[in-house]
Structure 1
Amino acid sequence: MSNWKDAEFGAGHDHIFLGAAHEENERRTWMVIALCSAMMVAEIVGGSLFGSLALVADGLHMSTHAGAMLIAALAYTYARKHATDSRFVFGTGKLGDLAGFTSAIVLAMIALLIAYEAVSRFFSPVPIHFDEAIPIAVVGLLVNLASVWLLSGDHHGHSHGHSHGHGHVHGSGDDRAHEDESKHIFAGGAFAVSIFEDGVPPVFRITPETGKSKLTPDTVSATTIRPGGSRQTYSFADRGEYLESEEEIPEPHAFTVLVRLPDGEHEVEFVEHEHGHGEALATSMRDHNIRSAYVHVIADAAVSVLAIIGLLLARAFGWVWMDPLAGVIGALVIANWSWGLMRDTGGILLDMNPDRRLAESVRHVIEDGGDTVLDLHVWRVGPGHMSAVVSVATNEVERSPSFYHSALKRFKGLSHITVEVNRVGALA
């Protein structure tokens, strides 16, 4: 290997890696702050005027609620205003994760305080003014539900299923391909060509779409042609309602397929779009800042529900211990959510790779073209934005960093790529 290198470090492009819904989430968070602040002022003023200590206490609690939201809102505003600041080497996309990690610590402290207060009341019960406490808890729940509604949507990062944009099939009731996930061939009948990987290694399936169409394994084959020119031929077995390839399909699933049928060859193409599977995709896309705000209001709503149940049972049956018990349960729920948020945001702040399959797909794209990946790092730089640094060894003189940039453009979530090219043999 020669010691000559050709590298491209991404000069001439921006490093804005904010989430797609950044400004919308920022507005939502400020709206929740306004709601909580209004409620806080109303409770403190009302409690002071009418001599209700419980109302004042809940108003002060609402101030901590607004303070937690303020962390998220300021993170959004600061990240947006400094998105083009060159001092941030990879942009401000991770600021939301830092805010989420901070909020997780605040949630953990709140859980400890609630648990401490609840345990103390087990040993030293205090009189409960039910006629005041229950309406306040109900009002608090309504405010939390309104906050949940304001923050609702797909921005808080809960994953519902998978998202594959490259023709994968995840099985309907009869394991047949959905029409919009298949490639269609018309050759004396209609046939659907799909990639199936519902709980099994990915394989090709060819399914007749007209009742009179029938294929046999000895008259069918498929050959994939990848961007680097490498080919692989697949033979098929009869599975009854469809033919299935006997060989597995390696990632990435971006290639041209020559399907040989009795009437000749037919060409179809599978393109890799948003890459990621299940939780890996959700993690790479998730906005942890709005998630932290969402978790906070959900946790507060859960505590309000538990408090209302505990107060009603305590008043109806004299079970005074139900109120602190509800507090302990609420503390455990908040602690669990806090740990999940802390774990996810901490991993991103430490540059853990949330999508290993993306890294393997990047490796395959390069090595399928006959090159060798010497070093590869993939990490998240913002919601929906991944970055990659790759060192390649090649004996192809004409392959510059731009060649690999073009080859990796198919991965839409890969927003920042740095390539180092090492010539092997050519200049030795």
Structure 2
Amino acid sequence: MTSPQTSAVGHSHVFLGAAHEASERRTWAVIWLCGAMMIGEVVGGLAFGSIALVADGLHMSTHAGALLLAALAYTYSRKYAQDPRFSFGTGKLGDLAGFSSAIGLAMISLLIGYEALTRFLHPVAIHFGQAIPIAVLGLIVNLASAWLLSRGGHDHHHGHGHSHGSDEHDHAEEAHTVRASGGALVLSVFEDGVPPRFQLRRPAGALLLAKSIALETRRADGARQAFTFTDRGGYLESVEEIPEPHAFAARLRIDGEGDHEVVFEEHDHDHADHHRDNNLRAAVIHVAADAAVSVLVIIGLVLARVFGWVWMDPLAGLVGACVIASWSYGLIRDTGAILLDMNPDRRLADRMRRTVEACGDEVADLHLWRLGPGHLGAIVCVATSAPRDAAFYRQKLSAFPALSHLTIEIATPAS
């Protein structure tokens, strides 16, 4: 039997993104821009008898409505960030708004696709003189909106995740260049799906024998560990595994060349998903989707007018529907995973487990989930026979700054 012990340390439950207020202001600014455009198109269309202009103005109103959802999510989550009714804060409200927007995008893509297929079967007359200028005007507004929303250099790409190259360098935790007589050597910690080990890469064609290399690490508490290397073909790899945390000074000794000192610092290696603001991402996708459709429509209209290819207009709409559906799927998948508290980063969870178990204890249970942009919550149950309290493990896990809410449960053997 075991006896649980849970840490209970008072702390803030505000888990909003670092750029929350700036993103909120930008979203409201874009709403005002779209609102002005909407009113101008509707009034102008009614004044000049252009039903196409009125229709585009009404379309802009749906666009502004989607952005309004994002803006209200920002405002509400900020206003009620300290409300004790929200056990883990209001950081997920933006993900909820992003999920709702993604559902709306999916419906829009279906409507566009249906309309495009209908026009393939039953072509309609196109008024090029009105349609092309309206499409160009819509593109300009969307580009201006995208610029306003994306200011600040945040990551709002529309892909379905991270692109990881096949090269092992992509997974190196931290790399240092060492100048040797035969050329620059790269010393790194590698741990992609395997226990962490040092890797030493040599210049192409350079001869570097494993037996001529020795490495020793020195940690802040004075602990030292020696590492030997073996040849893996294109690189040398340490025989010994590197215990957590990966924060130490390393002395690399090369026979005949002396010592080289490098310092490794512990990082939590958060993926961009940890910091991604899905509320702003949804707003950007709405704008980008509209801009993409505008570009496709302009291309289709120009080709239809110049070459008489009337079928290009519905084809452009069908392609646009597929693009919007793809972006919508990615947003639904990512926000849905957060709302269902899926583990946002298995590699980070594994690193946390190794950090605790490096002390000789066992992690009996570990839960990791996202609380908001840049904030993770974790519950760690440690089985140990050592006289250690929650503060000991909290200090060990402090190397992972994304852990904004950490609960430690200690299970000890029954006496």
Runs of 5+ unmatched residues, structure 2: none
Identical pairs, percent: 56
- Match for residue 33 of structure 2? 35
The amino acid across from 2:52 in the alignment is A
The answer as to whether partners of 2:156 and 2:281 remain within 8 angstroms in 1 is: yes
> Residues of 2 paired with 1:208 and 1:336: CA distance?
42
> Residues of 1 paired with 2:413 and 2:145: CA distance?
59
- Match for residue 85 of structure 1? 83
1:254 and 2:246 equivalent? yes
The answer as to whether partners of 1:227 and 1:369 remain within 8 angstroms in 2 is: no
Deviation string for 1:300-322 (max 9, x for gaps)? Answer: 01111111111112212222222
Equivalent residue pairs, number: 401
The answer as to whether partners of 2:70 and 2:98 remain within 8 angstroms in 1 is: yes
Deviation string for 1:22-65 (max 9, x for gaps)? Answer: 11111111111111000000000111111111100000000001
**Cα displacement (A) at 1:363:** 0.4
Q: Secondary structure at the match of 1:8?
A: coil
> Residues of 2 paired with 1:156 and 1:34: CA distance?
24
- Match for residue 6 of structure 2? 7
Shift of the 248–235 alpha-carbon distance from structure 1 to 2, 3 Å rule, reads closer
> Residues of 2 paired with 1:304 and 1:208: CA distance?
51
**Cα displacement (A) at 1:88:** 0.7
Q: Secondary structure at the match of 1:304?
A: helix
Deviation string for 1:237-257 (max 9, x for gaps)? Answer: 4789x9733437457561435
The answer as to whether partners of 1:75 and 1:95 remain within 8 angstroms in 2 is: yes
- Match for residue 105 of structure 1? 103
What does residue range 64-143 of structure 1 map to in structure 2 within 5 Å? 64-143=62-141
- Match for residue 182 of structure 1? 176
The answer as to whether partners of 1:251 and 1:361 remain within 8 angstroms in 2 is: no
Deviation string for 1:408-428 (max 9, x for gaps)? Answer: 111111111100011236xx1
The answer as to whether partners of 2:197 and 2:237 remain within 8 angstroms in 1 is: yes
How well do the aligned residues superpose, as a CA RMSD in angstroms? 3.4
**Cα displacement (A) at 1:113:** 1.1
**Cα displacement (A) at 1:217:** 4.0
The answer as to whether partners of 2:178 and 2:260 remain within 8 angstroms in 1 is: no
1:272 and 2:266 equivalent? yes
Deviation string for 1:12-31 (max 9, x for gaps)? Answer: 10111111111111111111
**Cα displacement (A) at 1:235:** 1.1
> Residues of 2 paired with 1:71 and 1:239: CA distance?
54
1:403 and 2:399 equivalent? no
The amino acid across from 2:109 in the alignment is A
1:354 and 2:352 equivalent? no
What does residue range 37-76 of structure 1 map to in structure 2 within 5 Å? 37-76=35-74
The amino acid across from 2:319 in the alignment is I
Output the TM-score relative to the length of structure 2: 0.86
1:291 and 2:281 equivalent? yes
The answer as to whether partners of 2:198 and 2:242 remain within 8 angstroms in 1 is: no
What does residue range 320-339 of structure 1 map to in structure 2 within 5 Å? 320-339=310-329
Runs of 5+ unmatched residues, structure 1: 163-168, 172-176
Q: Secondary structure at the match of 1:363?
A: helix
The answer as to whether partners of 2:191 and 2:197 remain within 8 angstroms in 1 is: no
Q: Secondary structure at the match of 1:292?
A: helix
The amino acid across from 1:406 in the alignment is Q
> Residues of 2 paired with 1:248 and 1:294: CA distance?
47
> Residues of 2 paired with 1:47 and 1:251: CA distance?
69
Shift of the 243–299 alpha-carbon distance from structure 1 to 2, 3 Å rule, reads closer
Output the TM-score relative to the length of structure 1: 0.83
Moved more, 64-73 or 248-257: 248-257
Shift of the 156–204 alpha-carbon distance from structure 1 to 2, 3 Å rule, reads closer
- Match for residue 332 of structure 2? 342
The amino acid across from 2:69 in the alignment is I
The amino acid across from 1:123 in the alignment is L
Deviation string for 1:228-286 (max 9, x for gaps)? Answer: 9987642124789x97334374575614355363699887542222423xxxx022221
**Cα displacement (A) at 1:152:** 1.8
The answer as to whether partners of 1:111 and 1:332 remain within 8 angstroms in 2 is: yes
Q: Secondary structure at the match of 1:7?
A: coil
> Residues of 1 paired with 2:125 and 2:94: CA distance?
42
**Cα displacement (A) at 1:198:** 10
